[in-house]
């Protein structure tokens, strides 16, 4: 790095220092007290150097970071400790026994989690895992199909309300018949998936011809319409008060105190997560999944290949909606209370952010993104008032320095092994 460059950066940082000092002056230095109807301005000059120095240092660091980011791809850094560690992990994971053992260890850790850490952490983890299901589902729509869906929370709501309404209207019948109300959960689970799928298809019908921004706006509107309908049809859905006292799932007739109940829900959601990962992986590797990816890349070429775009889009929305419906039922079972406020645009955006941060189209990315977005804020509760600030800053940093996400999609590689068969003919294994 040349001296000239450094001087240039220092000068630029000085400029931003001045700029920030002026900008923050009214907020940080001037303090207005209104005493007996007269405004008195007190100047806190001590804040001035703090702002100036902070602005200068941060601006300088930011510039350095941007320059580093621009040039870090220039040379193949095979010798940096980071790259070595990654290469080591990749090599280790390429061996089957290692992969299997680490998977087992991970499963064991996940299985003892509620016993090791108690109910508070278990409940947080359940919420996070619900988001994992949501993120994996939306990943099909956004990551594979390339259709930006901002109304995903609506399908989440369909799931939760399927369970809630089923409880509200069929619950008394269950009670009078002497059947454990926990059974309703198991009826609601597949039913919610089906209902979400039906609504997913209904939504995709009007948006078949839309792409990009237009699709985003329509889905956004859809999400809000659903929430408004739930909120305003109070006769059916309970309106803004929602539905309460939703029973916890039945499990071998056990009447569980809240602590164990959380543990059971934890295991149920865990199994659902594993099931989701399994199915989503199968979809991704299948021809249908590849057709979805082809649709993301080029619609006209898709049509020329004989791929039915209409069916493809319906399938995308339906597949995505299914998982949201399932996640909704689990949410209702965990919180035992639902109201429309749980399904705002913010929820849709959170799930979308989880995917983008994790790496669009990547399954580990979606899981990681959802866990980070849900777990970190919980554990930073002491910093509650700065939470959104940290959130925003973290977001910007990730988008600038890791635009592909934290765990970018590693498209499946088929190794090309050419081996000579006995008859001397080259045989190719893909």
Q: What residues make contact with another protein under the rule CB under 8 A?
A: 287, 290-291, 293-294, 297-298, 300-310, 411, 413-416, 430
Work out how close the CB of 85 gets to another protein at its nearest, in angstroms, rounded to a whole number: 26
Question: Cβ closer to another protein: 241 or 410?
Answer: 410
Work out how close the CB of 205 gets to another protein at its nearest, in angstroms, rounded to a whole number: 16
| Cα→Cα distances 194→169, 186, 187, 259, 325, Å | 19, 13, 11, 31, 8
Question: Cβ closer to another protein: 341 or 427?
Answer: 427
Work out how close the CB of 407 gets to another protein at its nearest, in angstroms, rounded to a whole number: 17
| Residue 249: DSSP 8-state | P
Question: Cβ closer to another protein: 297 or 341?
Answer: 297
Query: In which element (H, E) is residue 298 found?
Result: none
DSSP secondary structure string for all residues of 271-297: HHHHHHHHHHHHHHHSHHHHHHHHHHH
Work out how close the CB of 297 gets to another protein at its nearest, in angstroms, rounded to a whole number: 4
Cβ–Cβ contacts within 10 Å for residue 261, how many? 20
Report the distance separating Cα 49 and Cα 14, nearest Å: 13
Question: Cβ closer to another protein: 227 or 296?
Answer: 296
Work out how close the CB of 304 gets to another protein at its nearest, in angstroms, rounded to a whole number: 5
Closest listed residue to residue 312, CA positions, set 324, 301, 323: 301
Question: Cβ closer to another protein: 235 or 421?
Answer: 421
Please say whether the beta carbons of 150 and 143 come within 8 A.
Answer: no
Work out how close the CB of 294 gets to another protein at its nearest, in angstroms, rounded to a whole number: 5
Please say whether the beta carbons of 66 and 85 come within 8 A.
Answer: no
Work out how close the CB of 16 gets to another protein at its nearest, in angstroms, rounded to a whole number: 39
Please say whether the beta carbons of 182 and 373 come within 8 A.
Answer: no
Give CB contacts under 8 A, 24+ apart, made by 201-208.
201/314, 201/317, 201/318, 203/151, 203/154, 203/317, 203/321, 204/313, 204/314, 204/316, 204/317, 204/318, 205/314, 207/313, 208/309, 208/310, 208/313
Q: Name the token pair of 200.
A: 């997913």
Question: Cβ closer to another protein: 94 or 253?
Answer: 94
Question: Cβ closer to another protein: 46 or 304?
Answer: 304
CA 276 to the chain's CA centroid: 14
Question: Cβ closer to another protein: 115 or 416?
Answer: 416
Work out how close the CB of 317 gets to another protein at its nearest, in angstroms, rounded to a whole number: 19
Q: Name the token pair of 88.
A: 């080591």
Work out how close the CB of 228 gets to another protein at its nearest, in angstroms, rounded to a whole number: 36
Q: Name the token pair of 298.
A: 């080029």
Question: Cβ closer to another protein: 70 or 418?
Answer: 418
| Residue 145: DSSP 8-state | S
């Amino acid at each position: 790095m040349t001296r000239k460059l450094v001087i240039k950066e220092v000068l630029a940082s000085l400029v931003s220092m001045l700029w920030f000092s002026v900008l923050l002056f009214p907020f940080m230095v001037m303090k207005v007290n209104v005493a007996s109807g007269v405004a008195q301005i007190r100047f806190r000059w001590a804040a001035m150097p703090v702002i100036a120095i902070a602005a200068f240092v941060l601006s300088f660091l930011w510039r350095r970071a941007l320059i580093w980011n621009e040039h870090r791809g220039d040379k193949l850094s095979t010798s940096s400790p980071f790259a070595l560690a990654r290469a080591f992990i990749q090599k280790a994971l390429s061996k089957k026994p290692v992969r299997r053992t680490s998977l087992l260890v991970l499963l064991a850790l996940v299985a003892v989690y509620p016993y090791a850490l108690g109910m508070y952490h278990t409940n947080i983890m359940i919420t996070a895992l619900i988001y994992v299901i949501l993120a994996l589902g939306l990943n099909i729509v956004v990551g594979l199909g390339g259709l930006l869906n901002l109304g995903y929370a609506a399908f989440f709501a369909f799931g939760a309300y399927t369970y809630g309404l089923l409880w509200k209207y069929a619950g008394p019948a269950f009670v009078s018949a002497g059947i454990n109300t926990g059974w309703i959960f198991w009826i609601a689970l597949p039913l919610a998936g089906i209902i979400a799928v039906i609504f997913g298809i209904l939504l995709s019908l009007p948006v078949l011809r839309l792409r990009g921004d237009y699709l985003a706006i329509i889905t956004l509107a859809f999400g809000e319409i659903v929430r408004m309908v739930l909120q305003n049809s109070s006769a059916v859905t309970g309106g803004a008060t929602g539905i309460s006292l939703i029973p916890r799932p039945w499990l071998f007739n056990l009447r569980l105190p809240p602590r164990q109940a959380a543990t059971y829900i934890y295991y149920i959601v865990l199994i659902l997560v594993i099931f989701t990962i399994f199915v989503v992986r199968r979809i991704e590797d299948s021809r249908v999944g590849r057709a979805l990816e082809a649709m993301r890349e080029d619609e006209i070429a898709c049509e020329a290949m004989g791929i039915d775009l209409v069916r493809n889009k319906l399938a995308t929305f339906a597949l995505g909606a299914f998982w949201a419906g399932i996640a909704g039922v689990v949410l209702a079972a965990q919180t035992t209370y639902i109201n429309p406020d749980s399904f705002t645009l913010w929820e849709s955006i959170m799930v979308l952010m989880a995917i983008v941060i994790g790496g669009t189209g990547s399954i580990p990315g979606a899981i990681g993104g959802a866990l980070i977005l849900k777990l970190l804020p919980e554990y930073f509760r002491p910093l509650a008032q700065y939470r959104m600030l940290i959130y925003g800053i973290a977001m910007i940093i990730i988008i600038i320095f890791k635009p592909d996400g934290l765990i970018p999609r590693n498209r499946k590689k088929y190794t090309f092994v050419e081996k000579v068969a006995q008859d001397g003919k080259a045989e190719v294994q893909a």
